[in-house]
Amino acid sequence: MRSIEAAERAARPKIEAAPSMASLLPALKELFTNDIDDELTKLIEDSNAVIKMVRAGQLDEAEHAARELLVRFPDFHDGYDRLGMVYEARGDNKQAAHCYRQVIDFVRARPDQYEPGFEDTFHRLIQKLDPAPAD
């Protein structure tokens, strides 16, 4: 028993000298924030590049880049959105609407990540591109 108490007393100064988690939080937050910021910056750049390709008529390249967004950034809706833009530019309205439906499904699966009404634009696009038949 005395040897355990002696070991605890000997270890106590070392434990107390170790940095607390609270003191490490700012550094950890900075580390993770930088990684997140870098990822978001890359997503925005790559997503915007697809838009530029679509506007320039480089639809094959834009499709490839949009599909890459789906692979590299699976936690964001941009790949589906940009792929929809490509199909819309090609005049393939049904396929574009399908991609926009995937955006809506993606958003609905992650309601905490999106503002209410975010999907409204995609509903309007679907209605324009592939309206439901009247009963």
The CATH homologous superfamily for domain 21-129 is Tetratricopeptide repeat domain (1.25.40.10)
CA distance linking residue 134 with residue 125, whole number of Å:
17
pLDDT at 97: 97
Domain boundaries, the chain: 21-129
pLDDT at 37: 77
Q: Which residues of the chain have pLDDT under 50?
A: 4, 7-24, 28, 31
Q: For the purposes of burial, counting CB atoms within 10 Å of the CB of 60, is it exposed (0-12), middle (13-18) or buried (19 or more)?
A: exposed
pLDDT at 32: 52
CA distance linking residue 28 with residue 60, whole number of Å:
41
pLDDT at 83: 97
Please tell me the pTM assigned to this model: 0.71
The CA distances from residue 47 to 2, 41, 106, 111, 131, in Å, are 65, 10, 17, 22, 27
Q: 53 with 62: CB under 8 angstroms?
A: yes
Sequence-distant (6+) residues with CB within 8 A of 51 are 82, 85
* Torsion angles phi and psi, residue 115, rounded to 5: -70, 150
